[in-house]
Amino acid sequence: MRGVILFALCLTLCGCKLSEAEILERKYRRSVEMYGQRKSCADEHIIAEAWAREGNWQKYSAARIREAAQCQQEQAGIDQLPLGSTSATKSAGADVRGALPDDAAGNMVPSLAGDG
């Protein structure tokens, strides 16, 4: 806590302002530390894009590496799900598919409403 106060005081005295990317990194780090949440692939992507907008290519590169590792880890977790499991993504896909017309084999076909 003392470190945060000293850091804020230093920023106030020197007139420095945190960049958007630094704010995002601190926000996600705090969520991990305080609430036990973990960064997702999407979180890492948002941070990487913020560094790119700021032109800090070294930090952008490091963030992209973390993003790739996190996405790979999430994909490995998805791949370990049992084949018969009913996940939210599968049920959402079924809901979307059910709203579209199907051919006789059960494949989605494009809507013909605009043709005519």
| Residue 36, domain member (yes or no) | yes
| Residue 37, domain member (yes or no) | yes
pTM attached to this predicted model: 0.54
Domains of the chain: total:
1
- Show pLDDT as tens, one digit a residue, over the chain (116 residues): 666 676 666 666 666 788 888 988 888 888 888 887 777 888 899 999 999 999 999 999 999 999 999 999 999 988 888 876 655 555 444 444 444 445 555 555 554 455 44
Q: Are 60 and 22 in contact (CB under 8 A)?
A: no
Q: Identify the pLDDT of residue 98.
A: 45
Range of the domain at 29: 15-78
Q: Are 32 and 38 in contact (CB under 8 A)?
A: yes
Q: Identify the pLDDT of residue 15.
A: 63
| Residue 32, domain member (yes or no) | yes
59 Cβ contact partners less than 8 Å away, ≥ 6 residues apart: 21, 51
